[in-house]
Amino acid sequence: MRRWGDLSQDADDHLSAGSVLDHAEMAVVVTDRFSNVLYWNPFAEQLFGRVGASPGRESLHSLGISEKDHPLTAELAKHVLRGGVWEGTFDVARGDGSTIYVRAQAVPLRHPSGSVSGIVITAREAMRSNEREKDRFGLLERIGERLAGSLYVEETLNRVAEMLVPQFADHCFIELVEGDRLVRKVSTHVNGWTPPPDTWRPVGAEIRYPLGHYAEAAVRRQETILVEDLSQVSYPAPSEGAARLCGEIGMTSAIVAPLCVRGETLGLMYLGLSNLTNRRSPHYDTFDRDFVGAIATRVALAVDNALLFEEERHTAESFQKHLLPRQPLPSLDGLEIAVRYYPAAPLASHGQGIQTQVGGDWYDVIPLSAGRVGIVIGDVEGRGAKAAAVMGQLRAALRAFAQDDKPPADILARLDEWTRIVAAPEHDDFGADITNPPIVTCQYMVYDAWSRQLSFANAGHAPPLLIVDGEVRDLDITEVGQPLGVRAKGMHADLVYKEETRVLPPGATLLLYTDGLVDRRPPRDSATGVPGDDEALDVLREKLAKASGESVERIADLATVAVPGEIDDDMAILVVRSAGTELQSQERTFPAQPIMVSEARRMASEAFAGWQVPEERAELACLLVSEVVTNVVLHAASASVPRRELVLDGPPLPFDESWDVPGFEEEIAGDKEFTLRLRRGGESVWVEVFDQDLRLPRIRSAGENDEGGRGLYLVDQLARRWGSRPTREGKAVWFEIPIGGR
Residue 524 banded pLDDT, cuts 50, 70, 90? low
Question: What is the arithmetic mean of pLDDT over 734-742?
Answer: 83
Rounded to an integer, the average pLDDT of 73-90 is 86
Computed from CA positions of residues 9, 10, 12, 13, in that sequence, does the dihedral angle turn out positive or negative?
positive
Q: What is the bridge-based pairing of β-strands 571-578 and 335-342?
A: antiparallel
Q: List all residues 6 or more positions away from 633 whose beta carbon is below 8 Å from its beta carbon.
A: 592, 593, 594, 596, 597, 674
C-beta neighbour count of 399 within 10 angstroms: 14
- 3-state per-residue secondary structure call for 634-692: HHHCCCCCCCCCCCCCCCCCCHHHCCCCCCHHHHHCCCCEEEEEEEECCCEEEEEEEEC
Determine the pLDDT at residue 679.
96
Tell me 516's DSSP state.
Answer: G
- Residue ranges of domains in the chain, CATH in brackets: 17-127 (3.30.450.20), 132-312 (3.30.450.40), 327-521+531-578 (3.60.40.10), 585-637+670-738 (3.30.565.10)
Burial 21-31 (b: 16+ CB within 10 A, else e): beeeeebbbbb
Residue 250: the pLDDT is: 92
pLDDT at 203: 92
CA atoms of 458 and 456, how far apart (whole Å): 7
The mean pLDDT value for 80-93 works out to 84
Question: Residue 425: pLDDT above 80?
Answer: no
Q: How would residue 74 be classed by pLDDT, with cut points 50, 70 and 90?
A: confident
Alpha-carbon separation of residue 107 from 27, 33, 46, 80, 125 (angstroms): 14, 12, 22, 6, 18
Express each pLDDT in 93-102 by its tens digit.
Answer: 877 677 777 8
pLDDT at 401 > cutoff 90? yes
Residue 730 · residue 695 · CB < 8 Å: no
pLDDT at residue 666 tops 50: no
Statement: residue 741 has pLDDT above 90: no
3-state SS, 198-217, equals CCCCCCCCECCCCCCCHHHH
466: β partners: 473, 510
Residues 528, 529, 535, 538: what is their CA dihedral angle, to the nearest 10 degrees? 30
Polymer length of the chain: 742
For 24-38, what is the mean pLDDT? 89
| Residue 357 confidence (pLDDT) | 56
Q: Is the pLDDT of residue 138 over 80?
A: no
Average pLDDT over residues 428-448: 82
Task: Give Cα separations from 704 to 328, 574, 628, 631, 708 (angstroms).
Answer: 46, 52, 21, 19, 10
What pLDDT digit, counting tens, does each position of 182-199 carry?
999 999 999 889 999 989
Give the model's pLDDT for residue 171. Answer: 94
Between 495 and 338, whose confidence is greater? 338
Q: Tell me, rounded to whole angstroms, the distance of Cα 578 from its chain centroid.
A: 31
| Position 287 confidence tier, pLDDT thresholds 50, 70, 90 | confident
pLDDT of 525 over the 70 cut: no
What is the full DSSP assignment across 38-54? EEE-HHHHHHHT-TT--
Three-state DSSP state, 535: helix
CB 150 within 8 A of CB 156: yes
Q: Is the pLDDT of residue 50 over 70?
A: yes
* Higher-pLDDT residue of 353, 25: 25
pLDDT, position 319? 61
Q: At residue 161, what is the residue type?
A: A
Q: Which residues pair with 587 in a beta bridge?
A: 677
Query: Of 167, 275, 270, whose CA–CA distance to 214 is shortest?
Result: 270
- CB 387, CB 367: distance < 8 Å: no
pLDDT the model gives residue 544: 93
Please state, as a whole number, how many other Cβ atoms lie within 10 Å of the Cβ of residue 644. 10
SS3 444: strand
* Residue 381: other Cβ atoms inside 10 A: 15
Task: Write down the pLDDT at residue 93.
Answer: 83
**8 Å CB contact between 360 and 426:** no
**How confident is residue 553, by pLDDT bands cut at 50, 70 and 90?**
very high
pLDDT digits (tens, 9 = 90+) for 410-423: 999 999 988 888 77
Query: DSSP for 263-279?
Result: TEEEEEEEEEE-TTS--
Quote the CA–CA distance of 486 and 480 in Å, as a whole number.
14
Helical packing angle, 286-323 and 128-148, nearest 10°: 10
Beta pairing, strands 453-459 & 480-481:
parallel
pLDDT (tens digit, 9 = 90+) per residue, 681-730? 989 999 999 999 888 887 776 555 544 557 788 898 999 999 998 888 88
> Is a pLDDT exceeding 80 seen at residue 347?
no
Is 229:288 a contact under the CB 8 Å cutoff? Answer: no
Other C-beta atoms closer than 10 Å to the C-beta of 38 total 15
pLDDT bracket for residue 528 (50, 70, 90): low
- Give the helix/strand (H/E) hosting 393: helix 385-402
pLDDT band at 675 (very low <50, low <70, confident <90, very high): very high
Q: Which helix (H) or strand (E) holds 159?
A: helix 153-164
Assess contact for 698 and 712: CB atoms under 8 A: yes
Average pLDDT estimate for 577-600: 93
- Read off the amino acid at residue 650: G
> Residue 372's pLDDT band (boundaries 50, 70, 90)?
very high
Residue 252: pLDDT band by 50, 70, 90 thresholds?
very high
- Going through 33-170 in order, the beta strands assigned E by DSSP cover 36-40, 58-59, 86-93, 99-110, 116-125
Q: What is the CA radius of gyration of the chain?
A: 42
For residue 262, which amino acid is it?
R
Q: What count of Cα atoms within 13 Å lies in the side-chain half-sphere of residue 206?
A: 6
7 pLDDT higher than 80: no
Residue 49 buriedness (CB in 10 A; 0-12 / 13-18 / 19+): middle
pLDDT of residue 136: 67
Cα separation, 156 vs 160, in Å, equals: 7
Over 70: is that where the pLDDT of 128 sits?
no
Q: Which contacts (CB < 8 Å, 24+ apart) does range 33-42 have?
A: 33/81, 33/116, 33/117, 33/118, 33/119, 35/59, 35/60, 35/73, 35/77, 35/119, 37/62, 37/63, 38/118
* β-pair type (453-459, 465-468): unpaired
pLDDT confidence bin for 641, thresholds 50/70/90: very low
Query: Is the peptide bond between 328 and the residue preceding it cis, with omega within 30 degrees of 0?
Result: yes
Contact between 511 and 461 under an 8 Å Cβ cutoff? The reply is no
Q: Give the closest residue to 562 by CA, choosing from 340, 412, 290.
A: 340
How confident is the prediction for the chain on average, in pLDDT? 82
Q: What is the pLDDT of residue 607?
A: 96
pLDDT of res. 167: 81
